[in-house]
Every structure is written in structure tokens, then in C-alpha cells.
Chains A and B, each alone.
Chain A
């Protein structure tokens, strides 16, 4: 039990932080908003999955991926394909020239369901695909690149290129993927109408629960030896090889983990928002997701959620009232986070906490500063 407390929940501090987030997401927000706004928050929560994955991949392992949209989209499209097939049963689509297939296929003169769509008729398959496909893709990409020691900037640019390739590929194949408009008009999940208010509340809570689950998984991984290995890898990758580690395997592992988390986010997005399109897959959304993690503090799992919420809230506020201003602000945000606030909101929180503790009269011995070794060891002569 003590181990769970320390590792999973993160000791006293970690538990309080997690509880605070849970209270915010599960109680305060639903109580203070109408369902429309809450649904928006639900959308932001879907993005948070990607940010949490990036905390593992970028903050801890030091690998920057500018293509996480690929995996978000993969999960989203898997879920959308399942829902679309459900909504395209022969009775509802009887006015089409070919009933029983999605409407956009009909518009593109496609007469039977393409082979890669067929398995998505099955719910278990779709669920499995949401987890397995992104992990598989990440594994393949990771193997191709990390085993060849492609890292850092090169890796980032290539993930950007792959994001472009995937989004263009979806875009250019309207008949098979819904093209630029994406897959829309989704109605029911196994007969349950996902558009009703009660459904939206339930889906919101499911998203929150899954998000907390991902955070706990992240904490668990980081609390093992893997956490220290990742930090070592981020700071001195070549040294780690000489400590006996096959660095590529670790990068592949974290990349796949982040991919899976992003994919779950994509699936929850589709359930709550009701559509998916290539505009959520390409270069721009992928790099925006990085800024969510950066604003939150790229080393902080909880921070990632706050960062996503803050940036997206600001985005909707500003793009309504000052659309021109928003892009300037967003660009400025990228620069500010890199140059002025590298630890993001989490860093600000830590600094403020330190001031508060110092300012209070009673000294709390819990927060210990690292001791400068030179003071401890008395070296004779010199």
C-alpha cells in the first residue's frame, strides 16, 4: 500500500495535486457550466491525452515529435469509422444509390465498402485498433529511425513530414476517407445515441476517467527505474549506451506509449465532438499539441492538462473577439515559453510555492535543497 501511495499517487504532494485536478474536472467544472461549455472542456480533455503523452516522450525522454496528430487522428478515425458504419445501415441510407455504405462514398461513386473499412464493423476490433494501430505505427517508425540513431531535430522534422504525408493522404482520397470534410454525421454507439445531453455528460466523465488513468500509468512508469533511465537518456544519451542500455528500445517504448495515449484522446474527441477530419492530423495541430504540453510544463503530467485547458480556453476567447490578435498571441506564446518560462505553469507553481513557504514564519523541513558537496567534504591542504 505504501508503495502505491509513493509511486502511483506521488506521495503527499502528488496525491493532493491529483485530487485537485480530479475535483476541478469532475466536480467544479460540470457544476459551473452548461452542457455546451462542458462539451468544449471535454474536447480539450481529448487534446490533453496528447499533451500527457508528450510529457513522457519530450519532457522526460527528450524526444520531440511534431507529428502526434498522426496518432490522435488514427484513434479518431478508427472510432469514426466504426460509428459511421453503424450510422450507415441499409435502412437509414436507403435513398443512396448504394445503401449500406457511408454517404461520402456514395457521393464519390463508390459501390462497395473498401476492404480496410470492413473490420471496423466490429466494436471489439475498433477498440483494439485504437490501441494497437498507433502502437504499431510508432513501433515501425521508431525502429526505422531510432535504431539508425536519427534523433533530435532530424527526427522532429521527419515526424512533421509524416504528419503532412498522412494528412495529405487522407485529404486526397475523398472516396475512401471522407477527404477534407472528414467523417461526419455520427449518431449512435452500439445503439446508444451519443448526441443527447445525458450521453455527453457520460462521455465527459469517461474521458476524465481515462485521462486520470493515463496520468497514473505515466506516473507508474516514471516511478520505476525507467523514469531515471529516461532522464539520463534525455541528458546524456551516449553515456547511457556505455552504461549498458540499448537506447533505441527505450525511445521506441515511450514513443509507442505516447502514441497510444494520443490515440485514446482522438477516439474520445470523436465521441464528444462527433466528427474527425484531416485538419486534426497535420502539421499545425501537431505542433499546437506540443505547445499545450510546453505551457503546462513539459515535465509535469498534471501540468499538461492545465496547459491544454488554458491555451484552448484562451484560443476560443480570443478568436471570437480578437481573431487577428490571437495568432500574434499564439506565436508570442511559443517564443515566451521557450525563452522565458521553460518550465511552464508547473514551474511557476513551484516557484510561487517556494516563496510562500519561505515567507511563512514556520520552517517546513519537507522541502530540502540539494546540498553543495564541497561544504560536506573537508579536503585537506590544497
Chain B
């Protein structure tokens, strides 16, 4: 049906080894545009490492990662960001000393060079975009609050907001609802469904109920290798997966 070049993200034979230990082993993964893919697996399965490899935080020792047909391996982090990939980290990574507004503003994708920053103007267009993204992530009333004073869940939302400012075509979220209360989780489900309309999303999560509500497809990793892939229901009933991860 679709050839490799039609995929938003195509990972082939991806391997990374640390001193002989293969954290990720010959992984193949394909994500469509507008797809919400969830990666699950027991701890140590290499899930976060895969995201690290895609966004350039860790260097792969083999394989290829193509985004919109373009090879991402070996590029510097900020170049991968400019190509259209955004990453949210496992523990909320926001700028604690800056306000919500400033956190979002910093993520605004133009004028990010040295001289660009010196000449950057906070135009009405910029302000409007910030306010609109803030609204999307439920933080429109907290624009002047310093990042340090947000609750854990709000920090997660802010980080997602910072990614949205970059307008990425692929959004990667590492445990986006960890530490959130139930109402916050429900709001996040809504948020992700809304965002997904325009881009591809890759999510790592452990909360199976949450995964069920958002996932189009689920990929299971185990010990750095691909184990299974399919709809949530198929995965739930997959004996290999049950043995390794889901129990019963």
C-alpha cells in the first residue's frame, strides 16, 4: 500500500549498543502521518532510548531513521527540531525560572539564532500564537506564573505546549500522564486527540486505560527488540505480550 517514503517516520534496523549491551536491537518501526502510535513494554525495553535516538540525544550504532524521507541519524539536536520533530521528556523539562508565557515564547520557531534573538520582536502575531497554544494546553489563565510554581500535571501540559509552538509534524511524548490525577488524565486524552488531527504522535506510556483511549496502533518492545504490533485489543490478547508484560 504505502511505500517507505510515504511514512512520516521510518525506522529501519536501528541498533544502539553501550559497551556491548544492546539497548535497542535491529528495530523496525513505521509511523504514518496523523497516526497516534503508542509504544509499550516492560522497563528496560528500550522505549525511552528509541526516542533518544530519534531526537538525537543518543547516537545510534547502526540502522537508519528517516523522517519525511530524510535521514535524521547524525544530525545535531537543534537541526532535528527544525526538521519538525518535537520531544517531551519523561520528567517535565520546562524552564523553571521563566514564566509560562516566556516558556512558550522561547519555543517560537523563528529568530532562534544569536542575531535572530537580539532582533526578535514580540509582535502581535507572536503573542496571539502563544495565547492560542496556552489555551490548547489549559494554561491560558496562568501565563504570568513562573514555571517553578506549576503543579506536576501543569508542567507536563506546558511542555506539550512548548512543543506545539514549534508546530512539529511528529510529536514524541514520554509518559505524558505520569503523576497526573484522573481528571487531568482525561483532559490530556482530549488534548492529544485534538493535536493528532494535524500531526503524527509517538507516545510511551504505562497506563493501559489511557493507552486504550488514545492509541490508533500499539507497538510492544521487549529487551530492545520488536515484540508485537497492532490495535490495543490485538495486543491485549497476544500471548507473547501477556507473558512478558501485561500479566494474566
Q: Do A and B interact directly, with beta carbons closer than 8 Å? A: yes
* CB 8 Å contact bits of B90-126 with A (1 = contact, 0 = none): 0001111110001001110101111001111000000
State whether the Cβ of B71 lies closer than 8 Å to any Cβ in chain A.
no
**With A225-B117, A249-B113, A376-B141 as given contacts, are A244 and B95 in contact (CB-CB < 8 Å)?**
no
Task: Find out whether the CB atom of A225 lies under 8 angstroms from the CB atom of B183.
Answer: no
Residues of A close to B106: CB separation below 8 A: 225, 228-229, 232, 240, 243
Indicate if the CB atoms of B112 and A228 lie closer than 8 Å.
no
Interface: A34 (CB within 8 A): no
Produce 1/0 per residue, A112-136, CB < 8 A to B: 0000000000000000000000000
B93 & A239 in contact (Cβ 8 Å cutoff): yes
Q: In the complex, what residues of A have CB within 8 A of residue B145's CB?
A: 370-371, 373, 376
Contact stretch, chosen from B40-48, B75-83, B199-207, B209-217: B75-83
Any chain A CB within 8 A of the CB of B2?
no
Q: Is A377 an interface residue (CB 8 A)?
A: yes
A335: min CB distance to chain B, Å:
26
- In the bound complex, do residue A373 and residue B142 qualify as a contact, i.e. CB atoms below 8 Å apart? yes
CA–CA, A229 to B119, complex, Å?
13
Instruction: Give A238 to B105 CA distance when docked, in angstroms.
Output: 17
A360 at interface by CB-CB < 8 Å: no
Q: With a CB–CB cut-off of 8 A, which chain A residues contact B107?
A: 243-244
Do A228 and B142 touch (CB < 8 A)? Answer: no
A interface majority secondary structure = helix
Interface residues on B, range: 35 or more
Q: Is A353 among interface residues, defined by CB-CB distance under 8 A?
A: no
B150 contacts which of A243, A373, A382 (Cβ < 8 Å)? A373
Chain A, residues 355-382, CB within 8 Å of chain B (1/0): the string is 0000000000000001111101101111
Count A-B contacts at CB 8 Å.
105
Q: Is B184 an interface residue (CB 8 A)?
A: yes
Question: Cβ of A235 < 8 Å from any Cβ of B?
Answer: yes
Bound complex: CA A240 to CA B78 (Å): 9
Report the minimum CB–CB distance from A4 to chain B (whole Å): 15
Whether A381 contacts B183 by the Cβ 8 Å rule is yes
Measured between alpha carbons, how far is A236 from B98 in the docked complex, in Å? 11
Instruction: Name A254's closest neighbour in chain B (CB-CB).
Output: B114
Residue with the greatest number of chain B CB neighbours at <10 A, chosen from A221, A228, A236, A242: A242
Chain B interface main SS type: loop
**How many residues from A make CB contacts under 8 Å with B?**
34
Within the assembled complex, what's the spacing in Å between the Cα atoms of A231 and B95?
8
Note all chain A residues with C-beta closer than 8 A to B162.
Answer: 243
A231 contacts across to B, CB distance below 8 A? 95, 97-98
Measured between C-beta atoms, what is the minimum distance from A17 to chain B in Å? 21
Contact B105 A225 (CB under 8 A): yes
Note all chain B residues with C-beta closer than 8 A to A228: 98, 102, 105-106
Using a CB-CB cutoff of 8 Å, which residues 200-241 of chain B contact chain A? none
Residue pair A371, B111 in contact (C-beta under 8 Å) = no
Rounded to whole angstroms, the CA-CA distance of A247 and B151 in the bound complex is 28
Quick check: is B15 within 8 A (CB to CB) of the other chain?
no
Decide if B166 is an interface residue (CB 8 Å cutoff).
Answer: yes
Task: State whether the Cβ of A224 lies closer than 8 Å to any Cβ in chain B.
Answer: yes
Among A229, A244, A249, residue most surrounded by chain B Cβ atoms (within 10 Å): A244
Residues of the A chain whose Cβ atoms lie less than 8 Å from the Cβ of B144: 371
Q: Which residue of A lies closest to B87 (CB)?
A: A242
Verify if A349 is at the interface (C-beta below 8 Å from B): no
Is A226 located at the chain interface by the 8 A CB criterion?
yes
B40 nearest CB across to chain A (Å): 23
Q: Are B114 and A239 in contact, with the CB atoms below 8 A?
A: no
A226 touching B114 in the complex, CB below 8 Å, given contacts A231-B97, A242-B81, A373-B142: yes
Whether A243 contacts B81 by the Cβ 8 Å rule is yes
Q: Which residue of B is nearest A246, CB measured?
A: B78
Closest chain B residue to A221 by CB distance?
Answer: B118
For the complex, give the distance between the alpha carbons of A380 and B182 in Å: 10
Cβ-based interface call for A341 (8 A): no
- CB-defined contacts of B95 to chain A, threshold 8 Å: 231-232, 235-236, 239
Kindly identify which residue among B76, B97, B111, B149 contacts A225, using a CB–CB cutoff of 8 Å. Answer: B111
How distant is the Cα of A147 from the Cα of B97 in the complex, in angstroms? 25
Query: Does A201 make an interface contact (CB < 8 A)?
Result: no
Any B CB within 8 A of the CB of A318? no
Closest B residue to A234 by beta carbon equals: B97
* Max chain B C-beta neighbours (<10 A), residue from A240, A241, A382: A241
Digit string of B164-197 for contact with A (CB within 8 Å is 1, else 0)? 0010000000000000011110000000000000
10 residue pairs bridging A and B, Cβ less than 8 Å apart = A226-B117, A232-B106, A244-B78, A244-B82, A244-B109, A244-B112, A246-B78, A247-B78, A370-B145, A373-B154
What is A's interface to B at a CB cutoff of 8 Å? 221, 224-226, 228-229, 231-232, 235-236, 238-247, 249-250, 253, 370-374, 376-377, 379-382
A-B pairs, top 3 by smallest CB distance, nearest first, are A225-B120, A241-B77, A244-B81
